Amino acid sequence: MSLNIAAGRITLARTDSTNAEAFRRAPDLKQPLWILADEQSAGRGRRARPWVSPIGNFYGTLAMRVTEPPATVALRSFAAALALRDAFVAITGLADNFTLKWPNDVLLNGGKVAGILLEASGDTLAIGIGVNLIGSPPPSAVEPGATPPVNLLAETGLRLTPNAFLDHLAPAFAAREASFQSQGFGPLRQDWLAHAARLGEIIIARTGTETRQGVFESIDDEGNLILRMASTTLAIPAAEVFF
């Protein structure tokens, strides 16, 4: 696998979504490319949920070529989450305030401050990242029981532009990607668990058809959630987690 992780950067005034823009640019992609947009008209999160995109927040996608099997490619969501946390801590100095929520959210003081959406097409991976830098939806805009959204400005008093945030995020991701390529998922898994929200506590994991409650025990070598229930222990590859 390649160790070429140097990435370019472009900033757009407006696009439908930075992930969609990444795939439009895929035929001409010569190296990893960060795509920022000041505004998105059709931003989305997991399960095609709309992502509210007011001007001033961070909407970015890293487009990159990948050659690994899909299951390996998907582990980059953990690299992205760790890189986000690395960037937040470098900016704020608040190491204890940022935690990671399985499978792909970053929490600040217990509220969701950032989310990640991985999408792949052919040999192109789009790592979409949304960060609430200066604004966040009201709690009423999320489904009941979901983690309430927060933003960096309200929680810390720090006002940051998207490009300034990327100045921290891009090298943080490059470092995590280099670790992933040279050492595999093991070190990422260990670091992710060290900052996992509600590890060892009771959580609810909801799929499209079932709701399960149990102790969040770990994640395995494939990134699955390990949920210990009264009669069994399950490895769950995809679910919505509620606290």
Give me the amino acid identity at 243.
F
What is the three-class DSSP state of 203? strand
Q: What's the pLDDT score for residue 50?
A: 60
Domain spanning 202-242, CATH class:
mainly beta
Q: What are φ and ψ of residue 49, in 5° steps? A: -70, 140
Write a three-state SS string for 104-119.
Answer: CEEEECCEEEEEEEEE
**pLDDT value at position 2?**
38
68: DSSP letter:
S
**Other C-beta atoms within 10 Å of 101: how many?**
19
Token pair in block for residue 184: 């595999």
Domains 8-194 and 202-242 share a fold: no
Distance, CA of 88 to CA of 82 (rounded, Å): 10
CA dihedral sign of residues 37, 134, 80, 45: negative
Q: What is the largest CA-CA distance in the chain?
A: 53
Task: Indicate the pairing of strand 58-65 with strand 33-37.
Answer: antiparallel
Domain limits, the chain: 8-194, 202-242
pLDDT for 209 equals 84
The helix (H) or strand (E) run that includes residue 22 is helix 18-25
DSSP state of 147: P
The whole-model pTM stands at 0.92
Q: Residue 64: what residue type? A: M
Under-70 pLDDT residues of the chain: 1-6, 43-53
How far lies 148's CA from each of 71, 86, 131, 132, 141, in Å? 30, 22, 14, 12, 9
**What was the pLDDT predicted at 163?**
97
Q: Are the C-beta atoms of residues 196 and 118 closer than 8 Å to each other? A: no
Torsion of CA 163, 164, 169, 175, to 10 degrees: 110
What pLDDT digit, counting tens, does each position of 115-124 carry? 999 999 999 9
Q: pLDDT digits over 76-116, tens only?
A: 999 999 999 999 999 999 999 999 999 999 999 999 999 99
CB 58 within 8 A of CB 135: no
Which CATH superfamily hosts domain 8-194?
A: Bira Bifunctional Protein; Domain 2 (3.30.930.10)
